[in-house]
Amino acid sequence: MSKENQVDKVKTSTSLTAEEQIELSVEKKLIALYALQQIDSQIDRIRIIRGELPLEVQDLEDEIIGLETRIEKFENEALALNQNVSENKISIKDSNVLIKRYEEQQTNVRNNREYDSLSKEVEFQNLEIQLSEKHIKEHLIKLEEVLSDLQVAKAKLEERSADLAIKKSELQSIVEETEKDELDLIEKSKMHEGQIEDRLILAYKRIRENARNGLAVVQIERDACGGCFNKIPPQHQLDIRMHKKVIVCEYCGRILVDHEIAEKYS
């Protein structure tokens, strides 16, 4: 073999090696991105499970505060009604005392004018008694309604307090079970981020923020994007399988990988 042919062969070999290195580099990026997505999805699932319970706990705490405020209002209203009943009873007692006094005075009057004046006072006090009795009846009816509402509110408060204790216990249990797993996954996520260039990481995070399910890297499923499920043109599918560059879905912008990348990650 001539020296010239040997040089050409070396050049070709060097060129192929460089191309293979580029392909391998892109493939490693895709595997790292897919791995990062799997880890972040696990973190998302942990936070979703835990994320619903704090909201439920918060809702119960808010409802309990509302019930406690309502109970306090009912108790104050019941207290005021009882006070009104007591005041009206005192008023009736005072009126009866006055009636007795006026009636005694009538026996010692000197003329009809004084007698009529005392009679009007007695009549007025009797009307005051009737009015106080009417108010007492109204207050007692209202008091019965308030006490009934108070009993219902207290029963509901007891029920919600029991629910809150259960939910808090569940939340505490889940936090204890998942906290270590979450911290481990976060550490793995950071480790995989370190294997990917900043430009790709920024794009990945931007896609995740905009994606409803947090998926930035998806597999091709039945010739369609695994995120938005739109069909992928055959040429794009071929490019994806070549692993020569990072390709995104033209519809949703997610990064696309084939089954080979997923299998290599597994």
pLDDT in tens, 113-137: 989 999 999 999 999 999 999 999 9
Q: What is the pLDDT of residue 8?
A: 46
Q: What is the pLDDT of residue 197?
A: 87
Q: How far apart are CA 97 and CA 230, in angstroms?
A: 93
- Do 102 and 122 contact (CB within 8 A), yes or no? yes
Task: Look at residue 25 and tell me whether its pLDDT is greater than 90.
Answer: no
Q: What is the pLDDT of residue 193?
A: 87
Q: What is the pLDDT of residue 47?
A: 82
Q: What is the pLDDT of residue 139?
A: 96
Work out the angle at residue 46's Cα, subtended by the Cα atoms of residues 185 and 221, and round it to the nearest 5 degrees: 85
Question: Where are the domains positioned within the chain?
Answer: 44-194
Q: What is the pLDDT of residue 24?
A: 52
- Do 179 and 118 contact (CB within 8 A), yes or no? no
DSSP 146: H
Q: What is the mean pLDDT of residues 102-118?
A: 89
Residue 224, Cβ density class (10 Å: 0-12 exposed, 13-18 middle, ≥19 buried): middle
Q: How far apart are CA 189 and CA 196, in angstroms?
A: 11
16 — pLDDT class (breaks 50, 70, 90): very low
| Long-range CB contacts for residues 124-132, cutoff 8 Å, separation at least 24 | 125/95, 125/96, 125/98, 125/99, 126/95, 126/99, 128/91, 128/92, 128/95, 129/91, 129/92, 129/95, 129/96, 132/88, 132/89, 132/91, 132/92, 132/95
Radius of gyration of the chain (CA): 42
Question: What's the topology of domain 44-194?
Answer: Helix Hairpins (1.10.287)
Q: How far apart are CA 212 and CA 227, in angstroms?
A: 10
Task: Look at residue 2 and tell me whether its pLDDT is greater than 50.
Answer: no
Q: How far apart are CA 53 and CA 250, in angstroms?
A: 37
Q: What is the mean pLDDT of residues 35-49?
A: 88
